[in-house]
Amino acid sequence: MLSVDRLPPPLSQGLALTALAPMQDVTDIHFMGVIAHYGSPDYFFTEYFRVHNSSGLHKHILRSITENATGRPVFAQLIGESVDDLVRIAVALSHYPIAGIDLNLGCPAPRIYRKNVGGGLLRDPDMIDRILGALRDAVKGRLTVKMRLGFDNTAHLDRILDLINRHHINLLSLHGRTVKEMYHSDVHYDLIAHAVQRVHCPVLANGNVTSAIAAGAVLAQTGAAGVMIGRAAIRNPWIFQQTRQYLSGQPVTTVTLAAVRNYIERLRQVATTAAIPERARVSHMKMYLNYIGQSVDAVGAFLSEMRRAHTETELFGTCDRYLLSDPDQPFALEPYPGLVARPRAETAHAAIAS
């Protein structure tokens, strides 16, 4: 039986915890393996299992648990509002090698929150109380929550934080924006710091943790037990290793453009198959490259040219020109100001990520 009062040990004792944020359509078994190759976080979280009255255990998400070769614990995330079905799926998942059950109270995608799930539930603390109470009774191991500060304001924040305490949640991952703020506003680190003081469990600070230096600054400002990193880990899979190095006073690994090209090739090999049409393979790779490209060149020429590619030959030819013409040039630790990712779809940006 899983311990309900202790989290799995971190990779480096005495340092802050790190976690890869779950991102729908991104953090599958393949991407987790790629991240692990460059330096695992302390914890992984699955894409969310969508829970309703006819739902089961989605096979492609279940692979992130049953085929996990990262050497690190994986939490299984659920999203839904049907109390009985959330309990049913949580109990079914408890028979697999998971670190715990995580409840999604943060997804900001309109098509999700309009169904009163994910971030939509932040409008209804009474329903959150019912869900957490039922899950706490049913889950004998760890129960964790990933949430935002509120739906369109923070009026319910303290009440929901008190529910985190009442139901003995083991870990809270808190994105420092409301649902309506999406990813556009400044992150309210002061409210994450407030949550750290109010709840009894460890808190992972989430939102704009774009580098190891940023992680250190967020930890200092919030007093959180650790950081959860999402989109920045797509751009820079070395970020967890670099964060441990920075926090322990070691030199931070310098990443070259040649190393980034190797990372892209690794993504290509594990994320696409010949059975998928070329157009779909190109589109899938562009989703990753929209993030990676933010640190390739300051003017965004790589992003602009990459987005115009229609074939794999064009796409990877662009990668070669920009990344291998001066392969020893450092890859920027932070994204260049003004260069933003353009997601493939709503879900690639939304999930419960950074």
Query: How sure is the predictor about 341, in pLDDT bands with cuts at 50, 70 and 90?
Result: confident
**Dihedral angle of Cα 233, 286, 349, 266, to the nearest 10 degrees:** -30
**Set 107, 131, 179, 191: catalytic member:** 107
CATH number of the structural domain 17-253: 3.20.20.70
The average pLDDT across 314-331 equals: 98
Query: What is the sign, positive or negative, of the torsion defined by CA atoms of 265, 267, 269, 274?
Result: negative
What is the spatial distance between Cα 240 and Cα 247, in angstroms, rounded to a whole number? 11
113-134 CB burial, b ≥16 within 10 A, e <16:
bebebbbbbbbebeebbebbeb
Q: Is 192 left (phi over 0), alpha (psi -120 to 50) or beta?
A: alpha
Tokens of residue 104, six digits: 């999604």
Instruction: Single out the residue of 279, 290, 278, 267 nearest to residue 348, CA to CA.
Output: 290
Query: How sure is the predictor about 3, in pLDDT bands with cuts at 50, 70 and 90?
Result: very low
Active site residue 319: no
- For 228-241, what is each residue's pLDDT tens digit? 999 999 999 999 99
Question: How much is the pTM?
Answer: 0.94
- For 99-115, what is each residue's pLDDT tens digit? 999 999 999 998 999 89
Instruction: Single out the residue of 304, 255, 306 nearest to residue 285, CA to CA.
Output: 306
What is the spatial distance between Cα 25 and Cα 227, in angstroms, rounded to a whole number? 21
- For 179-201, what is each residue's pLDDT tens digit? 999 998 999 999 999 999 999 99
- For 20-32, what is each residue's pLDDT tens digit? 999 999 999 999 9
